[in-house]
Amino acid sequence: MPIEVNGKSYETDEEGYLANLSDWNEDLANAMAQADGAELDSNHWEVINFLREYYDEYQIAPAVRVLTKAIGKKLGPDKGNSKYLYELFPYGPAKQACKYAGLPKPTGCV
Amino acid sequence: MADFETPEVKEYLDMPELKPGAMSHSKPFVSRDEFQGPLGFPGELVDDWQNVALAKLAELLNTNRGLKVFMDSCVKCGACTDKCHYFLGTSDPRNMPVARQDLLRNVYRRYFTWPGRLFPKLVGAQDLTEDVLDQWYSYFHQCSECRRCSVYCPYGIDTAEITMAAREVMNAVGKGQKYSNEIIGKVFKIGNNLGLPQPALLDTLEGLEEEVKEDTGVDVRYPLDEKGADVLLVTPSADFFAEPHVDGLIGYGKVFHQAGISWTLSSHASEAANFGLFIGSQENMRKIAMRVREAAEELGVKRIVFGECGHAWRVAYSFLNTLAGPFDFLDPRYPVPQHICEVTHELIQRGALTLDKSANDHRRVTFHDSCNVARASRMGNTPGGQFTIPREIIQAVCNHYYDMPPDTIGEATFCCGGGGGLLTDDLMELRVKGALPRMQALRQVVEQEGVTHLAAICAICKSQFAKVLPYYGFEMDQIVSVHQLVSDAIVLEPARQNT
């Protein structure tokens, strides 16, 4: 089920994750969030940008403790915890934020 | 998000009013060519799939004597009907274990028994049609292979074996399940279910060392690929990645540190889980298990210890030696393999750990027996050790421990609702409904004993509960790792030398 943004069609998998990582752009992330009834603010973008940077280096999304530590450094220690991340991404930071960041869904016992 | 209703938790777990077909729509995503190929399965439904399926079933009946007996021996006594969490949670009579089994049994009768060949209608024999294959796909992915029903079956029919056989036949004809098969492929390619490559593991473990240092002031190591360590720890990759799993991993490291045991993780065997079991594939199970042996040999360890992972412990305890043995290169003084709970328990018994129980005084804890540990393995040297050892560990580190009702724990434990390769978002309705019996039992100790936390020793159980607890009015962080409780209570000293 492809997703349409700015007149262009992007291929996704069964769960709406982008099929080709290189297709990603910011408008696409916003469109995915809107489809879920969410709006991305600067805090969401801090998470999304960190996920993309980390993926670039390690070919995998960061583990939860790596992510909370990084976000705590960027947004303040009161936000460096998974409770805050779940406020931002109620369906789970690993899965929902990865989707908006154009990364594959984490698999396994998570 | 949910387009289904969470079942109501009542005072007693009733036999539900039947709703035929209530879950016939529930089907996981079908696997694709790219995930099927690496496992040796066809990428899509093959043209002569009926013949291929029947040939595969014939092969399984010939090689697995148990399966043949299970096909023949059901007398429809009904003892299993109300024992399955998926039946109790969904009300779909097809989820009565006997009815689910019959989806395969009826086809077996048609093609492999003479009354079924001659008088199919008289004996309930069924042609293998596309409609039957669809039902297999749906309902054999509504069994978590937890084996609770088997405990109550007077003939000992093992439903999990039947589910595994059905899944294997489906894989043979090219109708595999995406979730399990994609994951197995990642283990072959990268070494773990999540696909965490070695640099990411290193980065994550370094972060944990920093975190423990900040929390305790003590340098606790989380080593990766260190040759010459005594212990190879094989743990589910969720322990690196997710909460509350990671707090368990932190706990294992503290136990090893405090006991002066040198240990290492391996990037090659960075996964305890073995999803080959879930899809009933001996060959894939063997390939995953071999990675543990290869890592142990490569690193020159003396012992293999498994972290908190339910089905991994079944595979490790019951099959590791057959799949990847003999392990004659390891230290014969230790069992192969050991469970982390056995290690910790033994250390507690001989007073090797200093524990401050009051560190867990803000928690009132109960323990969820994971199905594969409870009904398919053992710990320690005495029968039932898999039940007593985790509880004795918790009681050694917590002042407040309470069991859930006896018919929901131990050998009679209810599955978390996400086991057996069903821990995937495309089966969320099934997972939420299947959690009902466990949530009901939890509610009881929450109300009667003020229990605040549910502890578990399985990565799947932990993820499943973190996801479904909120559906039942609980908080997601009420699920904890057993070694998280140990971690919080252990009084650390600076690095010790090997004992």
Residues of B within 8 A of A110 (CB-CB) are 194, 238, 241-242, 463
A38 touching B, CB under 8 A? no
Provide the token pair at B76.
Answer: 């429809």
> Do B145 and B193 lie in a common domain?
no
The tens digit of pLDDT for each residue in A45-76 reads 999 999 999 999 999 999 999 999 999 999 99
The pLDDT of residue B480 is 98
> Do B164 and B191 lie in a common domain?
no
Per-residue pLDDT of chain A (110 residues; tens, 9 = 90+): 789 999 999 999 999 999 999 999 999 999 999 999 999 999 999 999 999 999 999 999 999 999 999 999 999 999 999 999 999 999 888 899 999 999 999 999 99
In a domain, B199, yes or no: yes
Provide the token pair at B277.
Answer: 């079991």
* Contact: B195, A107; criterion CB under 8 Å: yes
Alpha carbons B387 and B404: distance in angstroms, whole number? 13
The pLDDT of residue B499 is 45
* Closest CB to B246 among A65, A86, A94: A65
Phi, psi of B384 (to 5 degrees): 80, 5
Using pLDDT thresholds of 50, 70 and 90, give the confidence band for residue B3.
confident
Residues of B within 8 A of A64 (CB-CB) are 241-243, 246
Average pLDDT of every residue of chain A: 94
ipTM above 0.90, yes or no: yes
Nearest CA distance, A27 vs chain B (angstrom) = 23
Q: How many CA atoms lie within 13 A of B479 on its CB side?
A: 27
Domain count, chain B: 2
The answer to whether B276 and B286 have CB atoms below 8 angstroms apart is yes
- Kindly tell me the sign of the dihedral angle through the C-alpha atoms of A2, B47, B66, B140: positive
> Do B160 and B189 lie in a common domain?
no
Alpha carbons A71 and A49: distance in angstroms, whole number? 11
In a domain, B123, yes or no: yes
Using pLDDT thresholds of 50, 70 and 90, give the confidence band for residue B14.
confident
* Closest CB to A108 among B193, B199, B477: B193
A19 touching B, CB under 8 A? no
SS3 B431: helix
List chain A domain ranges: 3-35, 42-100
Percent of chain B with pLDDT over 90: 97
* Contact: B237, A58; criterion CB under 8 Å: no
The tens digit of pLDDT for each residue in B290-301 reads 999 999 999 999
> Do B343 and B455 lie in a common domain?
yes
Residues of B within 8 A of A94 (CB-CB) are 241-242
The answer to whether B256 and B492 have CB atoms below 8 angstroms apart is no
Q: Whose CA is closest to B58, among B137, B139, B112, B117?
A: B112
Nearest CA distance, A17 vs chain B (angstrom) = 13
Give the domain extent around B160.
Answer: 33-176
The tens digit of pLDDT for each residue in B390-438 reads 999 999 999 999 999 999 999 999 999 999 999 999 999 999 999 999 9
- Of B176, B210, B243, which marks where a domain is finished? B176
pLDDT at B498 over 80: no
Alpha carbons B57 and A20: distance in angstroms, whole number? 39
Residues of chain B with a CB closer than 8 angstroms to some CB in chain A: 1, 29, 178-179, 182-183, 186, 192-197, 199-200, 203-204, 207-208, 211, 236-238, 240-243, 245-246, 273, 309, 423, 425-426, 459-460, 462-463, 476-477
> Do B306 and B202 lie in a common domain?
yes
In a domain, B232, yes or no: yes
The tens digit of pLDDT for each residue in B56-112 reads 999 999 999 999 999 999 999 999 999 999 999 999 999 999 999 999 999 999 999
Cβ-Cβ contacts under 8 Å for B499 (sequence gap 6 or more):
B259, B260, B261
- Of B176, B201, B236, which marks where a domain is finished? B176
Residues of A within 8 A of B273 (CB-CB) are 108-109
Give the residue on B whose Cα is nearest the Cα of A109.
Answer: B460
In a domain, B445, yes or no: no
Tell me which of B208, B241, B463 to substitute to probe the interface with A (most A C-beta atoms closer than 10 Å).
B241
The tens digit of pLDDT for each residue in B161-209 reads 999 999 999 999 999 999 999 999 999 999 999 999 999 999 999 999 9
In a domain, B3, yes or no: no
A109 touching B, CB under 8 A? yes
> Do B388 and B268 lie in a common domain?
yes
Residues of A within 8 A of B183 (CB-CB) are 107-108
* Closest CB to A109 among B1, B197, B236: B236
pLDDT at B47 over 70: yes
> Residue B444 is inside which H or E element, if any?
helix B436-449
* Contact: A14, B426; criterion CB under 8 Å: yes
> Do B319 and B259 lie in a common domain?
yes
Cβ-Cβ contacts under 8 Å for B14 (sequence gap 6 or more):
none
- Of B131, B146, B176, which marks where a domain is finished? B176
Nearest CA distance, B224 vs chain A (angstrom) = 16
Q: How confident is the model over B219-235, as a mean pLDDT?
A: 98
According to CATH, the topology of domain A3-35 is Dissimilatory Siroheme-sulfite Reductase; Chain: A; domain 1 (3.30.1420)
Q: How confident is the model over B333-354, as a mean pLDDT?
A: 97
Q: Which residues of B112-130 are buried (b: 16+ CB within 10 A; e: fewer)?
A: beeebeeebeebebbebee
The tens digit of pLDDT for each residue in B303-327 reads 999 999 999 999 999 999 999 999 9
Percent of chain B with pLDDT over 70: 99
The tens digit of pLDDT for each residue in B442-477 reads 999 999 999 999 999 999 999 999 999 999 999 999
> Do B157 and B255 lie in a common domain?
no
Give the residue on A whose Cα is nearest the Cα of B2.
Answer: A91
- Kindly tell me the sign of the dihedral angle through the C-alpha atoms of B367, B373, B374, B379: negative
Using pLDDT thresholds of 50, 70 and 90, give the confidence band for residue B1.
very low
The pLDDT of residue B238 is 98
* From the candidate CATH numbers 3.30.2310.20, 3.40.50.2300, 1.10.3720.10, 1.10.10.370, the one assigned to the domain spanning A42-100: 1.10.10.370
The pLDDT of residue B12 is 84
In a domain, B418, yes or no: no
pLDDT at B497 over 60: no
Q: What is the CATH number of the domain that holds B45?
A: 1.10.1060
Residues of A within 8 A of B188 (CB-CB) are none
